[in-house]
């Protein structure tokens, strides 16, 4: 079974996600942005979700983590929880 490690920032609106992504693109630290803005409990760890198996996350999230380029900020990705900015650290 495939596993991956990712971090994310979860916010309520696509607009907010785009604003945060823009800040990161301009040099803001992903972890600091997660601590400041994310609504997920993972924000305490800078958005780090640790390692998880394929299928443990909602499909839209899994699709990014297991199919898109590593170490790139993807999103906003809409799920039932809100809008995510996702960065996959590694997968195996």
CATH number at residue 16: 3.10.50.40
Residue numbers of the domain that contains 64: 3-91
- Over residues 58-74, the pLDDT tens digits come to 999 999 999 999 999 99
pTM for the model stands at 0.96
- Over residues 35-51, the pLDDT tens digits come to 999 999 999 999 999 99
Domains in the chain, number = 1
* Residue in 37, 46, 42, 30 with CA at minimum distance from that of residue 15: 37
* pLDDT at position 71: 97
In this predicted structure, the answer to whether residue 5 has a pLDDT above a threshold of 90 is yes
* pLDDT at position 31: 98
- The SS3 call for residue 22 is helix
In this predicted structure, the answer to whether residue 1 has a pLDDT above a threshold of 90 is no
């Amino acid at each position: 079974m495939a596993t991956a490690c990712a971090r994310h920032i979860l916010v309520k609106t696509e607009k907010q996600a785009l604003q945060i992504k823009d800040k990161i693109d301009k040099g803001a630290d992903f972890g600091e942005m997660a601590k400041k803005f994310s609504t997920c409990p993972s924000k305490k760890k800078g958005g780090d979700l640790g390692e998880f198996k394929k299928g443990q996350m909602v499909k839209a999230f899994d699709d990014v983590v297991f199919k898109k380029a590593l170490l790139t900020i993807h999103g906003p990705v809409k799920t039932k929880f809100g809008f995510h900015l996702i960065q996959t650290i590694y997968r195996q």
